[in-house]
Amino acid sequence: MVSSNGGFAKVELRPMFSELSFNIVMRMVTGKSYYGGKDGGEEGKEFRELMEEMFEYAGALNPADFLPILKWFDYQGLVKRAVSIGKKMDSFLQGLIDEQRNTAAIAEESRNTIISHLLVLQQSQPDYYTDEIIKGLVTVILLGATDTSAVTLEWTMSDLLNHPSVLKKARAEIESVLDPDQLMDEPDLSKLHYLQNIILETLRLYPTGPLMLPHLSSDDCTVEGYHISGDTMLIVNAWAIQRDPKYWDDPTSFKPKRFESGESMGSKLMPFGWGRRACPGESTIKKLTMRDGKGLTMPRVVPLEAMCKARPIFNKAFSKAAAA
């Protein structure tokens, strides 16, 4: 948000990034906004609270995973709470599916959503694209594309504010590519090489999935001198690999220029995972604390607040929207 006179205003960015990412994803999934949007209403409030609960418990540590005897007592009530959240989420998503099923044939805007396309597939492959499968796919999209995007945006802005010269160079590149009255669109990203380097460097230092999803070794093998038996659960520490001094010069420093050569980073850079199961999403100022906090997506320990001012084009766009 900006001040009424177009100047700077102090903003806590994380909630705004969360609203942005949730709205984008929900428009893709259902064709309408839910998170912070004017058309959210009670349904939007329910969705917001439900997602906050899911993210909280997605990163919760369950001692029973390490001491199986605790499963008899549901230590800390985690299982009971998880079941309750699961039932509420299932009911909410079923409502979205039923709504899309009833309106897709009538409303044009409902025909080009993720749920509507999955319902079309359900008609041709009903045994596979059941409502349960569709709800599972939507849940994965919500969990995998919302909080992770907001966290990454916050880390990016934190680094830019800590490195004014990088911010200045990024702004100059954007102004050289885009007209003053032009909003950035996805095709413009291919022309913004320095901005892409900033994104890569942020993902290197602050991967939203610092510990990748578990894999299982198919056979006995030896890695870096360590014997690994078949059927062993393996977890790759992407955070450590992407900060390893064996592979990176000055690994803890924010240096977007390290990607200027355009050479492939191979298995040294893996913020979206690696292989067949990689994430499909792979695509003088006071120093800010860069300590990471607790959570599945490695958020900042202190929410980022910054003085923000919109580009002139945004003021024009908002004025047109308000007049419409």
Distance, in Å, from the CA atom of 124 to the CA atom of 13, rounded to the nearest integer, reads: 44
Distances (CA, A) of 285 to 161, 256, 307: 7, 19, 11
Residues near 17 by beta carbon (within 8 Å), at least 6 away in sequence: 149, 150, 153, 154
Of 292, 287, 312, 300, the residue nearest 164 (C-alpha): 287
Instruction: List Cα–Cα distances, 27 to 22, 161, 226, in angstroms.
Output: 8, 30, 47
- Is 308 labelled as part of a ligand binding site? no
- Nearest CA to 114 among 82, 144, 84, 148? 144
Q: Around Cβ 122, how many Cβ atoms within 10 Å?
A: 18
Question: Dihedral of the CA atoms 173, 178, 182, 184 (nearest 10)?
Answer: -60
First to last CA, the chain: 20
Residue 74 CA to residue 53 CA, distance in Å, equals 18
Quick count: other Cβ atoms within 10 Å of Cβ 134? 22
* AA identity, residue 130: T
Give the annotated binding-site residues.
Answer: 279
Query: Where is the binding site for heme, in residues?
Result: 279
